[in-house]
Amino acid sequence: MSDIQLSVQGLCKTFHPGLFEADVEALKGLSFEVGRGEIFGFLGPNGAGKTTTIKAICEIIRPDAGTISVCGHPHTAPEAKRRLGFMSESPYVYRHLSGREYLRFCGELLGLPRTGMEERIAVVLDEVGMASRADRGLGTYSKGMQQRIGLAQALLGDPELLILDEPMSGLDPLGRRDVRDIILARAAAGATVFFSSHIIPDVEALCDRVAIVVDGTLRAIGAVNELLARDPVSYELTFTGADVGGLATPLEASHERSDATWVRVATPLRDALLAELGGRGALLLSLNPVRISLEDLLVEHSEEPTS
């Protein structure tokens, strides 16, 4: 069963900052769909329109054109919002409340039944690892703790669709691992997760599908493997017994290590280099293709001008 949990069609948004500033066209007809149970990553450089898209989905801003549907309902309907759990980038929260009080407040806003709300809060606090620190004031929390509470309120209503804006930003590696685990657990339980991120390794590790957005348009969308399925652009070699400076074959990069020499060469020149090394009597230690990384792909798309 792969019903569509999030559908964005033809989303356009232009911002009008003021009389003396030029209009900013943030989204130029964005369209994509996310199916149930997917973990979907939203990648793009700063200013690409990721946060704008997320705000549009959550009705924090209104698009100039386009439709958005959440869990089969129009995104403005209360039914949609009840099924949606949103975590904003560096969430600022009420400093005067404790973590638990804040979650209670969110529970009231969600319309959760009063009976069982405390248990639900306890479960969610446990899930994000804040159970022991929930009764301190939010003003005393570190960034990581705030992020966890932000995630907790998103999870509070047991949402079918989780929308997370940069959920790992500002977290230490342990924190990031915890968030990754939560996302995986939720997806395994049947929720759909849509998140935007800068941190490529996390996206690569987590996401079933990825969309690359640059300058308000969708540049690429698909499973990570599909996107990266290309012939290697270059090869990395390590060897001993030959001097790098004396090699005729042009190299992309080289580096003298204590135990060996490392070089990178473009694919067409690989065989020529191997032959040269063999001719010099060098000992080849390793030979690896360099696959394009997601990061490279992103950079590639970023540098492309908008068509």
Least distance between another protein and beta carbon 162 (Å): 11
Q: How far is the CB of 23 from another protein (least distance, A)?
A: 13
Nearer to another protein, 137 or 201 (CB): 137
Find, among 128, 42, 119, 126, the residue nearest to 91 by Cα.
Answer: 128
Smallest distance from another protein to CB 84, Å = 7
Closest approach, Cβ 235 to another protein, in A, equals 46
- The residue ranges that bind another protein (CB under 8 A) are 15, 55, 58-62, 78-79, 81-82, 84, 86-94, 96-97, 101, 105-106, 108-111, 150, 153, 163
- Smaller CB distance to another protein: residue 45 or 91? 91
Which residue, 159 or 209, has its beta carbon nearer to another protein?
159
Q: Is the sign of the CA dihedral 209, 164, 50, 299 positive or negative?
A: negative
Minimum CB separation from another protein for residue 32, in Å?
Answer: 20
> DSSP of 133-156, one letter per residue?
GTTSBGGG--HHHHHHHHHHHHHT
Amino acid at site 289: P
CB closer to another protein out of 155 and 247:
155
Residue indicated by tokens 């968030």 = 179
- Output 108 or 243, the one with its CB closest to another protein: 108
Identify the CA nearest to 156 among candidates 221, 99, 204.
Answer: 99
- C-beta separation of 40 from 211 below 8 A: yes
Residue type, 84: L
